[in-house]
Amino acid sequence: MNRDLKKEFEILKHSDIYEIVEDSTNASKITLHPMKTYTPPCGNPMIGSMITVGLLPSAFPYDIVYSYDVAENSATKNYQYKLQVYQSLWLFNIFRLGRTFSKQSGKALLGSYIASNK
């Protein structure tokens, strides 16, 4: 596992799809790929929050393409998921303890994984 991609590794860890171990003799090896983020071209939804210094909440969606390879024996399979994330801009987000980007994205990754394996 390439842990140098810290954000990607944290998302995979929080998804609980795989049990991540340090054993080098394990049959499965995971190779993470850098995430690709596609943001909307316009920031209009955030104007209200910026004018009111965060008192008026706003959110806009953007997409993240998350991908990794799983190598087992001599076969390598690529997994690619499109995660839809909402960026929120609100003064009271400072009280959202425990809800980090990696935890929420990990849940979204788990949901995409389960939906694709039905």
Architecture of domain 6-116 in this structure:
2-Layer Sandwich (3.30)
pLDDT tens-place string over residues 27-39: 788 999 999 998 8
Give the C-alpha separation, 34 to 27, whole Å. Answer: 23
Give the C-alpha separation, 110 to 116, whole Å. Answer: 10
More confident residue, 60 or 82: 82
User: What are phi and psi for residue 70, nearest 5 degrees?
Assistant: -120, 120
Q: In the chain, what are the domain boundaries?
A: 6-116
- Quick check: 98 pLDDT over 70? no
pLDDT above 70: percentage of residues in the chain: 97
- Quick check: 97 pLDDT over 70? no
User: What are phi and psi for residue 33, nearest 5 degrees?
Assistant: -115, 150
pTM to 2 decimals? 0.80
